Amino acid sequence: MSTETGFGYTKIAQPNSTGIKVIVVGAGFAGLACAIESRRKGHEVYILEKFKELKVLGDIISFGNNTGRIFERWGLHDQCVFWPICTHHTSLTIHNAEGEVLVVQDLQNPLFGAYAYNGHRGQLHERLFNYAKSIGVEIRLGQDVSEYWETESEAGVICNGERLSADMVVGADGVRSKARTLVLGYEDKPKSSGYAIFRAWFDCEAQGVDKDPLTDYMSKNGDAFHGWIGRDVHFLASTSGGGKAMSWVITHKDDADIAESWSFPGKMEDVLAVVEGWDPRCAAILSKAPSCVDWKLVYRDPLPTWISKGARLALIGDAAHPFLPTSIQGASQAVEDGVTLAVVLQLAGKQNVPMAVRAWEKIRYQRVRRAQLLGESNRDMWHKAKSNAEGETVTLPRPEWLLGHDAEKHAYEVFETTVQEIQEKGYELPTLPPPLPVVAVAA
Ligand SMILES: Cc1cc2nc3c(=O)[nH]c(=O)nc-3n(C[C@H](O)[C@H](O)[C@H](O)COP(=O)(O)OP(=O)(O)OC[C@H]3O[C@@H](n4cnc5c(N)ncnc54)[C@H](O)[C@@H]3O)c2cc1C
């Protein structure tokens, strides 16, 4: 069945009707989103994923309303796929290190006509993975892609020794992307961001959260969301499942040079040292976790381009643009990337895949960079706030340009003019947007 978008294009096409063959490398959120939307748009798509079996990994992850809009369009809200396993807090209470409340921020959900979804990364990922399979996306597990190549007429990969080809390849292979090397022509070296994050997810009842007066408010009245900010540190704790599961993240200064990893164990004494002398509720919440992960946050300068010379290979998600957690947009922008790519391929047609890929980069690049910069300004706002914070804002911005955006609709709207611009001026490397206005914070 097909429906119209109102922009004169077919929104849902017959499977494999465009004749465009797409190989997606990586079944993270970026790769899954791209493959799901590609299937909906009529492309012939399959995913090559390195992991041999799906495991429920990670802890808290957030999808903004801009991505919720897409999930809802896929029917994931109405079919109760995501919502029941998400956090349902309605506000964020931010305290200073002494425990005084600086602000109670209303987190209205839905906002700008769509829901935001925050929950366990592994659980949400498992559900999206199963949804992709249910609509016919082929996901080949245990496939380690070692090389990428392209010619004028096709692109492909070497995977487990086999040479595979398609009209285009999507490198959705995460922060340690191999696809990035072909696109850039050199290996992009990450650098320390100067910050690390300790993170944990655990069961409230098993860890006695509801028995301790310093922590019981997190679980006894449904889901709760509290934050504490101090110089160079922010600590966020939230519960989900009606107060059943707790997750926390604590970001702090750290220049130690270890690899970026979602499974490197953290030491609880190091975690507690960060909040020494702080409101005792902080240590109480942190010490309830049976274990935690130490995630060294590496940083990369914006890549000069996300697409290969022949424009048949595109990097999406973390492979193209890793995010600071304070942007709360890394996963959302990954999904937007994938959806936009599927739309422009549909609009361009099989004979014009490179033009579609160039237009995709132009449509996405500045928006993604703006969302990345918001992460930096949010972090600075929290890490530099005065402890009494009188008159200064520590409220998380929730701008309409970011959360009210509809990536699919936008792609339909701007594709033609974007192509025209490229045809008139020729392809140009993307340019960075002007810096965001400086947030007023104490020095
Ligand atoms: C195990 C894990 C746990 C995570 N936990 C959290 C979390 O708790 N909170 C949070 O905010 N974010 C977490 N993230 C990161 C988050 O998922 C991403 O930042 C965001 O969703 C963007 O996703 P992505 O698809 O671009 O990248 P990723 O989610 O990193 O997905 C990339 C995928 O590519 C696959 N891949 C890599 N190389 C190859 C190759 N050569 N051949 C084939 N496949 C390959 C990887 O196995 C992976 O499945 C986690 C990521 C991973 C991989």
Question: What's the rounded mean pLDDT across residues 259-287?
Answer: 91
User: How remote is the CA of residue 389 from the centroid of ligand 1, in Å?
Assistant: 37
For ligand 1, whether the C-beta of 317 sits within 6 Å is yes
**Element (DSSP H or E) covering residue 63:** strand 60-63
For ligand 1, whether the C-beta of 172 sits within 6 Å is yes
User: How remote is the CA of residue 28 from the centroid of ligand 1, in Å?
Assistant: 5
Domain co-membership, 387 together with 238: no
- The answer to whether residue 239 scores a pLDDT higher than 50 is yes
Domain co-membership, 29 together with 138: yes
User: How remote is the CA of residue 174 from the centroid of ligand 1, in Å?
Assistant: 5
Chain centre to alpha carbon of residue 74: 18
Please give the number of the atom of ligand 1 that sits closest to the Cα of 173.
34
Domain co-membership, 238 together with 305: no
Whole-number Å distance between alpha carbons of 204 and 187: 43
Please give the number of the atom of ligand 1 that sits closest to the Cα of 61.
11
Burial of 118 (C-beta count, 10 Å sphere; 0-12/13-18/19+): buried
Inter-CA distances, 163 with 43, 153, 159, 170, Å: 20, 16, 7, 16
For ligand 1, whether the C-beta of 26 sits within 6 Å is yes
Whole-number Å distance between alpha carbons of 345 and 44: 11
pLDDT tier at 388, thresholds 50, 70, 90? low
Query: Final residue of a domain: which of 243, 275, 299?
Result: 299
Largest CA distance in the chain: 67
**pLDDT for res 426:** 96
Domain co-membership, 33 together with 150: yes
Residues belonging to the active site: 199
Whole-number Å distance between alpha carbons of 246 and 288: 9
- The answer to whether residue 118 scores a pLDDT higher than 70 is yes
Q: Report the number of distinct structural domains present in the chain.
A: 2
**pLDDT for res 385:** 73
Asked if the structure places residue 32 within a domain, the reply is yes
Domain co-membership, 204 together with 169: no
For ligand 1, whether the C-beta of 264 sits within 6 Å is no
For ligand 1, whether the C-beta of 27 sits within 6 Å is yes
For ligand 1, whether the C-beta of 34 sits within 6 Å is no
Domain co-membership, 201 together with 142: no
Whole-number Å distance between alpha carbons of 88 and 79: 17
**Nearest residue (CA) to ligand 1, atom 1:** 57
For ligand 1, whether the C-beta of 401 sits within 6 Å is no
- Give the CATH number, domain containing residue 145: 3.50.50.60
pLDDT in tens, 178-205: 999 989 988 887 777 788 899 999 999 9
Burial of 84 (C-beta count, 10 Å sphere; 0-12/13-18/19+): exposed
Whole-number Å distance between alpha carbons of 54 and 51: 7
Question: What's the rounded mean pLDDT across residues 199-220?
Answer: 97
For ligand 1, whether the C-beta of 336 sits within 6 Å is no
Task: Return the top range by mean pLDDT from 75-84, 234-243, 254-263, 393-402.
Answer: 234-243
Partner residues linked to 196 by β-bridges: 252, 296
User: How remote is the CA of residue 334 from the centroid of ligand 1, in Å?
Assistant: 10
Q: Ligand 1, from 23, 50, 306: best to mutate by most atoms within 8 Å of Cβ?
A: 50
**pLDDT for res 165:** 98
Asked if the structure places residue 159 within a domain, the reply is yes
Asked if the structure places residue 84 within a domain, the reply is yes
**pLDDT for res 410:** 96
Query: Phi and psi (nearest 5°) for 387?
Result: -70, -25
- The answer to whether residue 6 scores a pLDDT higher than 60 is no
**Element (DSSP H or E) covering residue 314:** strand 313-315
CA angle 163, 164, 166 (to 5 degrees): 145
Cβ contact 123:244 at 8 Å: no
Please give the number of the atom of ligand 1 that sits closest to the Cα of 27.
49
Long-range interactions of 433-440: CB distance < 8 A, separation 24+: 433/366, 433/369, 433/370, 433/373, 435/373, 436/370, 436/373, 436/374, 436/377, 438/377, 439/377, 439/380, 439/381, 439/393, 440/392, 440/393
Provide the token pair at 90. Answer: 């309605």
- The answer to whether residue 78 scores a pLDDT higher than 60 is yes
For ligand 1, whether the C-beta of 31 sits within 6 Å is yes
Chain centre to alpha carbon of residue 333: 6
**Nearest residue (CA) to ligand 1, atom 35:** 26
Query: Phi and psi (nearest 5°) for 354?
Result: -60, -35
**pLDDT for res 441:** 37
Domain co-membership, 183 together with 196: no
3-state secondary structure of 416: helix
Question: What's the rounded mean pLDDT across residues 368-374?
Answer: 91
Asked if the structure places residue 288 within a domain, the reply is yes
Q: Where are the alpha helices (DSSP H) in 43-96?
A: 65-73
Burial of 185 (C-beta count, 10 Å sphere; 0-12/13-18/19+): exposed
Asked if the structure places residue 346 within a domain, the reply is yes
3-state secondary structure of 339: helix
Domain co-membership, 318 together with 357: yes
Q: Ligand 1, from 67, 141, 262, 303: best to mutate by most atoms within 8 Å of Cβ?
A: 262
Could you tell me what percent of the chain has a pLDDT over 90?
Answer: 74
E strands, 101-186, where?
101-106, 117-120, 138-140, 145-150, 155-159, 162-166, 168-171
For ligand 1, whether the C-beta of 29 sits within 6 Å is yes
Domain co-membership, 198 together with 226: yes
Whole-number Å distance between alpha carbons of 388 and 15: 58
Question: Could you write out the DSSP letters of every residue in 346-412?
Answer: HHH-GGGHHHHHHHHHHHHHHHHHHHHHHHHHHHHHHHT--SS-TT---PPP--HHHHT--HHHHHH
**Nearest residue (CA) to ligand 1, atom 16:** 331
Tell me which residue range forms the domain holding 388.
21-90+115-188+301-425
**Nearest residue (CA) to ligand 1, atom 4:** 58
Asked if the structure places residue 106 within a domain, the reply is no
**pLDDT for res 387:** 56
- Give the CATH number, domain containing residue 258: 3.30.9.30
Domain co-membership, 33 together with 128: yes
Asked if the structure places residue 57 within a domain, the reply is yes
**pLDDT for res 439:** 45
pLDDT tier at 442, thresholds 50, 70, 90? very low
Domain co-membership, 380 together with 363: yes
**pLDDT for res 377:** 80
Domain co-membership, 306 together with 293: no
